[in-house]
Structure 1
């Protein structure tokens, strides 16, 4: 079956030219902004501002693929022994940190700091690889899991 000239014209106009031009203009604008920011050495403004740390604990987290995790303080004392249901998020974050540590040849079981900032938010800091994560964006339940670890490690330290 041969296409008529009417069908060929309709086929070419499935995506309106104005839309194609608008997308091209948008891509060019994004590229222009990125090049400008890079050339003028603009600061990264999407990062959390560094504010005072009011509480922190250094721990070692041993995570299993099942989601179970064991957490120890720097003295080797058990802070938490979490089942797969309890430690799923903690184990997942630990695996993500381990992948980052591979880039810097850092042992996956090296210590990590759980920090509480003056504004109440929690974060993880890996001083050996520079990896850091703010736990605020992972939801209340997941942030609470690390809050419990921080409190348990602090209680253990205080005796």
Structure 2
């Protein structure tokens, strides 16, 4: 055999240099943020707490799946708030609740603890899992998706 290689390089050298530079930049940026003591962005929950923003309306809800594919949304104190029929266009509600239910299953938590839906004085709407403490800011998903959850609040809630 001659001095030639048995197989060519699989990754071009410039690509490897670029990848190394990207990793070095990421490490440098992370180090600068940590050393400079730059605080992470505050969560909406923390910001509301610091600004003493009070709730305007709140309701504890349970979401129960039926065998026919429908979802019963009930008041945690008893009674049905609404029923989402199978096939009804409510993908946002189902998607949010599917994610929260997955989190509960991973932690070994059943469906008994309620979720708290809260309308805040600043107009924001949030859904909190009372079992895990996880909060979803529903206003972030646009007015149409927000309205699907706002409709679950008591009728006298202003701004819904």
Please confirm whether the aligned pair reaches a TM-score higher than 0.5, indicating the same fold. Answer: yes
Do the aligned partners of 1:67 and 1:89 also contact (CA within 8 Å) in 2? no
Which secondary structure does the structure 2 equivalent of 1:141 belong to? helix
The Cα shift of 1:33 comes to 4.4
Which whole-Å CA distance do the structure 2 matches of 1:101 and 1:131 have between them?
Answer: 10
SS at match of 2:104: helix
The answer to whether the 8 Å contact 1:123/1:134 transfers is yes
Q: TM-score scaled by structure 2? A: 0.70
Partner Cα separation in structure 2 for residue 61 and residue 15 of structure 1: 50
Deviation of 1:81 (Å): 0.9
| Deviation digits for residues 86-130 of structure 1 (CA, Å, limit 9, x no counterpart) | 332212211211122234432224211100111111100122211
Tell me if 1:85 matches 2:88: yes
Which is worse superposed, 107-116 or 22-31?
Answer: 22-31
Aligned partner of 2:43 among 47, 57, 61: 47
Which of the numbers 94, 97, 120 marks the counterpart of 2:97? 94
Q: Is the 8 A contact 2:62 2:111 kept in 1?
A: no
Partners of 1:45 and 1:70 lie apart in 2 by 36
The separation in 2 between residues aligned to 1:36 and 1:56, in whole angstroms, is: 41
Which residue of 2 is the match for residue 155 of structure 1? 155
Ranges in structure 1 where 5+ consecutive residues have no aligned partner: none
Cα RMSD (Å): 3.3
Q: Do residues 123 (structure 1) and 122 (structure 2) align?
A: no
Corresponding pairs, count: 144
CA contact (8 A) 2:65 2:72 kept: yes
